[in-house]
Amino acid sequence: MSNESTAVVFIEFQNDFTSPGGVLHDAVKDSIEANSTLDNAARVLASAREHGAVVIHSPISFAPGYNEISSHPYGILKGVVDATAFVKGQWGAEIDARFAPQPTDIVIEGKRGLDAFGSTNLDFILRSKGIGKVVLAGFLTNCCVESTMRTAYERGFEVVTLTDAVAATSVEEGESAVRFNYPMFSTPTTSDAFIATMESSRDLADTSRGY
């Protein structure tokens, strides 16, 4: 499969998760350190741009006051509201500068839920652009990334999960998800292995063009 039909989806590389001072950063920093999440994801981002894969950013955000959702949330969305996380227009909801979208990237709109397909234009855009392979990185290993992986598999995409470019609220949670659940719905791989795949696909493409 050529890199043109591959999309790398960066899920919630936003300051509230990635940067000191972000309201949820302390919860994920151990897992980020254990995986070198940010370094690996940054290298994948650079390689995807270099080798012609589609780069997609999938941030989550809410209007101030969280008026779009129930006034009595439960589960993980209650956690988001209680932490006053991902408020549109504020620093915590901004995509981390190291992962800032470039003009040729695509920024998914609408994400209010956990599954990046559930409340966004992600599926529409992937279909419209003829994407067959979906590669996932981001936060949280067992929440948004996992829900997105499950739905992408269900919708017939070839799903790749980057097991060292994700992070969770504890190392144990992340490892359990990767060990038990990721293989059912994806091909788990390392960032280095995926980068190598992109490089060799490009070479094949070049060869077939007669270079």
Residues binding its own copies (CB under 8 A) = 63, 67-70, 73-76, 79, 104, 106, 108-115, 118-121, 123-130, 142-143, 146-147, 150-151, 153-159, 172-173, 176-177, 180-181, 183-187
- Tell the smallest beta-carbon distance from residue 209 to its own copies (Å): 19
What DSSP state is assigned to residue 129?
A: T
Q: Which is nearer to its own copies, 141 or 201 (CB)?
A: 141
Q: Which is nearer to its own copies, 98 or 129 (CB)?
A: 129
DSSP labels for 131-196?
--EEEEEEE-TTTHHHHHHHHHHHTT-EEEEEEEEEE-SSHHHHHHIIIIIHHHHSEEE-HHHHHH
Q: Which is nearer to its own copies, 186 or 197 (CB)?
A: 186
How many contiguous H segments (helices) and E segments (strands) does the chain have? Answer: 9, 6
Angstrom distance (rounded) from CA 184 to CA 37: 22
- Tell the smallest beta-carbon distance from residue 37 to its own copies (Å): 18
Angstrom distance (rounded) from CA 179 to CA 49: 29
Q: Which is nearer to its own copies, 115 or 164 (CB)?
A: 115
Q: Which is nearer to its own copies, 13 or 157 (CB)?
A: 157
Angstrom distance (rounded) from CA 129 to CA 61: 25
- Tell the smallest beta-carbon distance from residue 120 to its own copies (Å): 5
- Tell the smallest beta-carbon distance from residue 147 to its own copies (Å): 5
Angstrom distance (rounded) from CA 185 to CA 178: 11
- Tell the smallest beta-carbon distance from residue 69 to its own copies (Å): 4
